[in-house]
Chains A and B, each alone.
Chain A
Amino acid sequence: MARTDVGKLSFILLFAPFALWIALLIILPQLGIGYISLREKVGPGEYTFGFSNYVAFLSEPIYWNTLLRTAWMSILVTAMALAVGFPVAYYIAKIAQRRSRAALFLMCLIPLWVSDLVRAFGWIVILRETGLVSSLLQKIGLVSGPVELLYNDATVVMGLVYTVVLFMIVPLVSTLDGMDNSLIEAGYNLGGSRLTVFRRIVVPYAMPGIVAGCIIVFMLTAGSYLTPILLGGKNSMWFTEQIYEQFVTRYNWESGATFGVLLLVFTSFVVWLGLRLTGQSLASTVAKD
């Protein structure tokens, strides 16, 4: 009897911090922005409740265009990160020699430990009008005047891929690492071509890693702030920038909260859709390591 009491007590002691953390810092705050988003200020200290903030969002094209733009650019960045990262992950997990493998993996992780701000700043130094690329191009005589390579969509996408590609590589390496080469060999022995073996054996095997990488990358991109602002300039039209502006510049918490809810609902929906389409679960992908 005493033994189960101890078990019960230790369960309560372990569960309490978890419950406090999740309830006070995650669930209640999310309900809080949901509540604020339904509120409309009609006078000092007077509020009515309804969907007017959401209606305002829909009736202002610049708002929902920004959300759509953020969405499609995030999807583009995710696809590009997968395209760029998969060969790298495959090389590290399957081709590199044992010894160089760890070194390569570590080298890929180094930028991960440097803040977004430093990375974006590095790109600014390279790409702006007085930057490295511009002066090099002038020196070798390819262009006559300074060229501005910042503040366009291609640069924003390139910078975002840079920021997130590591989060694609890590889960891919850990799944591909578990794949036995004899699977590939069997595929060839059975007469499969390179493409068939890749499509029918490697990709299905790597699927949990692909899904995990895509989810993390998509969330990070859609929620990113620094890279689009610094590399895209004032006209980058990124949704998190709108949220920040409503909250801090205009002090309009009601509409800022509405935007927040919309971003959360939207990103959750994309993640849910991705998991659904590939038949994975959140626990089996994101929390694998």
Chain B
Amino acid sequence: MNVAAPQSPFLQWLYRGYMLAFLAYLAAPLFAAGMFAFNDSMFPALPWNGFTLDWFFSSTEPKIGMFHDRRLLRGLENSLYIGVLVSALAVAAGTCNAFLFERKQFPGKNVFYILMIVPLVIPGVILGISILVFASMIANGLEETFGIEWDFLRPGLFLVILGQFSFLTTITSLVIAARLRKFDISLEEAALNLGATRLRVLMTVTLPYLMPALFSAFVVAFLVSFENFNTTLMLVGSDAPLTITMYDRMVKVGSTPVLNAVSFFLMVGSGMLALLSVVVQKKDEPAT
């Protein structure tokens, strides 16, 4: 008998009903957003006019499918570019941080550790404006004193990457550090005793052990970068990522089913990535 559970059957059913209602609440908007991508209508609303794939593949007016909509594709391309780059950078920096905080002893470590977590508790909008302001101050200073024009310090892809990097690094650091903490250091010592160099130990023992964590840190960073809005909004230039393009479309043109199609595409894509990361973690679990 599970003492933690309610004992009367009535309460048990009530509890199960609550869980079902909760799951329905979670699924409702996703379902609604996805469903109307397949409705043969000009508006994402009832009545249901029959099934169509036009909102994905059609290339004729007035129904331009998402794979023929140049601005949406451009946004998708920018998002992928930003996501891959920023995740790679954040994983690299996160690995350094994990080694720093798990392996090294130095004065003020606790204070630095708190500093490492702080980016997670600063609202994204503020990270965005502060980086915008700081980059502009540097750019203006350079222009006034030396007459150099550094355009990459103005809103654009470079600043978007810096802005996302600033908080993604905290996430990757925490994920990688958690795995490094479980590592049995005697494995490294054994390899060293057997005559391996430090670099070789790192490449053949420690990093392979960390691989699942590096992978899932990359996936998490990529997904968070892909869906980030608040920080990106403040730093974006002419090359807008997909979320910003979508938002623009929603506000200026109003909602059309092509946005549902993009939503469906994003849900399937990120769902598969998340699942992949879970599978990689799971496969590794018995070994630890």
Residue ranges of A at the interface with B (Cβ–Cβ < 8 Å): 6, 10-11, 13-15, 17-18, 21-22, 25-30, 32-33, 36, 84, 87-88, 90-91, 94-95, 104, 106-111, 113-126, 130-132, 135, 162, 181, 184-185, 188, 215-216, 219, 222-226, 230, 240, 243-244, 247-248, 253, 256-257, 260, 263-264, 267-268, 271, 282-283, 286-287, 289
Contact of B205 with A by CB under 8 A: no
Excluding A17-B92, A106-B278, A260-B129, 9 further A-B contacts by CB distance (< 8 Å) are A25-B165, A121-B250, A122-B32, A123-B32, A124-B255, A125-B33, A219-B122, A283-B114, A287-B174
Contact of B51 with A by CB under 8 A: no
Asked if A225 contacts B233 (CB within 8 A), the reply is yes
Pick from A13, A26, A95, A263: contact of B119, CB under 8 Å: A26
Asked if A29 contacts B134 (CB within 8 A), the reply is yes
Contact of B13 with A by CB under 8 A: no
Given A95-B5, A113-B223, A289-B174 in contact, is the A162-B274 Cβ separation under 8 Å? Answer: no
Q: Mark B8-23, 1 if CB is under 8 A from A, else 0.
A: 0000000100110011
Given A188-B3, A225-B229, A289-B178 in contact, is the A29-B123 Cβ separation under 8 Å? Answer: no
- Which of chain B's residues have a CB closer than 8 A to the CB of A230? 250
| Alpha-carbon distance between A6 and B270 when the two chains are bound, in angstroms | 42
Given A11-B104, A289-B178 in contact, is the A240-B125 Cβ separation under 8 Å? Answer: yes
Residue pairs across A and B with CB atoms within 8 Å: the count is 240
Contact of B230 with A by CB under 8 A: yes
- Which of chain B's residues have a CB closer than 8 A to the CB of A223? 123-126, 230
Given A36-B133, A253-B133 in contact, is the A181-B28 Cβ separation under 8 Å? Answer: no
Main secondary structure of the interface of A (DSSP, over half): helix
Using a Cβ–Cβ cut-off of 8 Å, how many residues does chain B contribute to the interface with A?
84
Asked if A126 contacts B32 (CB within 8 A), the reply is yes
| Alpha-carbon distance between A241 and B203 when the two chains are bound, in angstroms | 48
| Alpha-carbon distance between A184 and B120 when the two chains are bound, in angstroms | 34
Binds A, one of B40-48, B54-62, B63-71, B182-190: B40-48
Minimal beta-carbon separation of A281 from chain B (angstroms): 8
| Alpha-carbon distance between A30 and B137 when the two chains are bound, in angstroms | 12
Main secondary structure of the interface of B (DSSP, over half): helix
Contact of B207 with A by CB under 8 A: no
Given A29-B134, A94-B2, A125-B44 in contact, is the A226-B33 Cβ separation under 8 Å? Answer: no
- Residues from 123 to 160 in B contacting A, C-beta threshold 8 Å: 123-127, 129-134, 137
Asked if A115 contacts B243 (CB within 8 A), the reply is yes
Asked if A114 contacts B278 (CB within 8 A), the reply is no
**Nearest 4 A-B pairs (CB), nearest first?**
A223-B123, A122-B29, A115-B227, A29-B130
- Which of chain A's residues have a CB closer than 8 A to the CB of B250? 117, 121, 230
Q: List 5 A-B contacts (CB under 8 A).
A: A18-B116, A114-B266, A121-B250, A223-B124, A225-B233
| Alpha-carbon distance between A197 and B163 when the two chains are bound, in angstroms | 46
Given A87-B15, A115-B243, A271-B121 in contact, is the A122-B131 Cβ separation under 8 Å? Answer: no
Q: Mark B256-284, 1 if CB is under 8 A from A, else 0.
A: 00011001001100110110001000000
